[in-house]
Every structure is written in C-alpha cells, then in structure tokens.
C-alpha cells in the first residue's frame, strides 16, 4: 500500500506541476492572473496559480472560435458568403473598430473578432443547440443564453482557463463533436506567427467583469515536433488605468514563461 501511494503521488506530480515563480511575471507588470500550459508530449500541466486557472470569467471574443464551429456544423452560414454591413459604425469598449465597417465573411469575422457578425449568427441558432454542443464538448459547465447582444462578453456565461486549454486540445486533436473539416477550418483562422524555430497559433479576447479588466490569450505553440497548449488571462481593477501596453502584457507574460520553462 505504501508503494502504491508513492506511485500515485508521482503520477499526480507529473500531471499537474505548479510553478509559483511564474507569478513574478504578473506582479512586475502590476496585473493579477494566471498562465496554464499543457505539454502534450509529456502529458503534464504547468501553471502558476491553480485557483485562478479554475475560476471562470466570460470568454469574450475567444468564444468566436466555438461560435464558428457551431455555425458551420449546423450549416446556418456559408463561410465564403459575406454578410452585409448595416452601415452602423461600431465601437468595442469605446475603441473604434473600422474593420467591422464593411461586408464580412466568417473568416474575416473570426480574424477581426467581429461581434456584430456573430450576433447575427446567434439569431439563427437555438439556445438548445448551443447548449448541446457545449455539453458534448465539455466547453464549460455553464449554459449559454442570449438575454442581450454580445452576451459572451458579459453575464453568467463563463469559462475557466483550464477549460479554454481543454477546448484547444480537443480542437487541434480534432476530438470535439464537430466535423473534422470544420475543426481544421477553425484552427486555420487563428492568428498564426511563424519563425525558423516555432509556430504560434493564438486568439485573444477582452471584456470587463465584476469591476475588473479581463484579457485572454489562448493558443498553441509548436516547436521541434512538440505542442504546448496554453491560456494566459490577466486581470486588473477597472479603477486602475489599463495603460497603453495592457493588451500586450499577456503576450509578454506568455513568452517569458515559455522561455523560463525551456519551451522556447
């Protein structure tokens, strides 16, 4: 029995590995939050703050990836057929979005995180269909509802960083309850950055939740035949100025964490 307990402890150590020194990269930039990484080849998880990785906030624009999967699966859209812009100029938390002021295809909507496009799509999808795929995918434990436009930015529909990474693992392994071609198409719409040493697929989203700025960065790092699935989420009280570089901080933390862990 004693050796069996030790074996279990060794397994749990491999599966879940806390690195609290990664908090340094958050504190020096005066933000709260967490990073969680799944090393696919070694089958283990690395994180800095376990409680934060299991706390839920609205997915914001990161929901567009899942949203596109549902729309493609149900056939409510043709990805190559543009939706007509209604001529209304749109703003995103007070910031102008000129990329939204035109007719838009699904690919453009994903790339530019176009909320009005996805709001139109949501009017063609029943809530029970959303929730069927959410449950089958284990995307989150929350049910989706549409009490107001852009409800993925606010309200009770929330997701944790751990669930974000689980979703990406299923998406890239084509293990979600969607047509493999639809899953492949969505991965190809993510932001892609290639160098001689690595390829990075990423997607991000921003919202305000419970008096905090909440900024997401999710993605996959591919390097030397290995894949690292990750989610970085930073938070800051709304009474504090975001600062001009706020949206870049999550990228900086992610790359600094990859480097110190030896993944880059």
Domain at 164, CATH number:
3.40.710.10
State the pLDDT confidence band at 191, using cuts at 50, 70 and 90: very high
Domain that holds residue 34: 18-261
pLDDT band at 175 (very low <50, low <70, confident <90, very high): very high
Lowest-confidence pick of 16-20, 79-83, 139-143: 16-20
Report the alpha-carbon distance of residue 118 to residue 135 in Å, rounded. 20
Geometric angle at alpha carbon 143, from 62 and 137, rounded to 5°? 65
Asked whether residue 95 is assigned to any structural domain, the reply reads yes
Q: pLDDT-based confidence at 16, cuts 50/70/90? A: low
Res 5 pLDDT > 50: no
Q: pLDDT at position 17, please?
A: 65
Answer yes or no: is pLDDT of 127 > 70. yes
- In-domain check, residue 12: no
Confidence of residue 12 (pLDDT cuts 50, 70, 90): very low
Q: In this structure, are strands 91-92 and 226-237 parallel, antiparallel, or unpaired?
A: unpaired
| Confidence grade of residue 90 (pLDDT, cut at 50, 70, 90) | confident
Specify the pLDDT at position 95: 85
**255 within a domain of the structure (yes/no):** yes
Percent of the chain with pLDDT over 70: 93
Q: What's the number of domains the chain is made of?
A: 1
């Amino acid at each position: 029995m004693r050796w069996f307990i030790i074996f279990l402890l060794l397994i749990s150590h491999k599966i879940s590995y806390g690195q609290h020194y990664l908090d340094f990269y958050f504190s020096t930039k005066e933000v709260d939050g967490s990073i969680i990484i799944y090393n696919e080849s070694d089958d283990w998880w690395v994180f800095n703050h376990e409680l934060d990785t299991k706390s839920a906030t609205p997915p914001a624009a990161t929901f567009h990836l899942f949203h596109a999967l549902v729309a493609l699966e149900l056939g409510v859209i043709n990805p190559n057929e543009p939706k007509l812009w209604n001529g209304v100029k749109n703003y995103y938390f007070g910031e102008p979005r000129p990329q939204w002021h035109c007719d838009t295809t699904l690919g453009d909507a994903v790339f530019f995180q176009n909320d009005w496009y996805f709001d139109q799509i949501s009017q063609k999808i029943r809530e029970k269909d959303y929730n069927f795929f959410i449950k089958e995918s284990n995307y989150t434990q929350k049910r989706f509802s549409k009490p107001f436009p852009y409800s993925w930015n606010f309200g009770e529909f929330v997701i944790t960083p751990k669930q974000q990474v689980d979703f990406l693992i299923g998406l890239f392994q084509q293990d979600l309850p969607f047509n493999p071609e639809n899953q492949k198409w969505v991965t190809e719409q993510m932001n892609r950055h290639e160098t001689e040493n690595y390829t990075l697929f990423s997607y991000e989203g921003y919202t305000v939740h419970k008096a905090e700025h909440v900024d997401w960065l999710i993605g996959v790092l591919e390097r030397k035949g290995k894949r690292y699935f990750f989610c970085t989420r930073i938070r800051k009280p709304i009474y504090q100025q975001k600062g001009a570089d706020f949206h870049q901080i999550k990228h900086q933390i992610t790359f600094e964490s990859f480097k110190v862990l030896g993944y880059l």
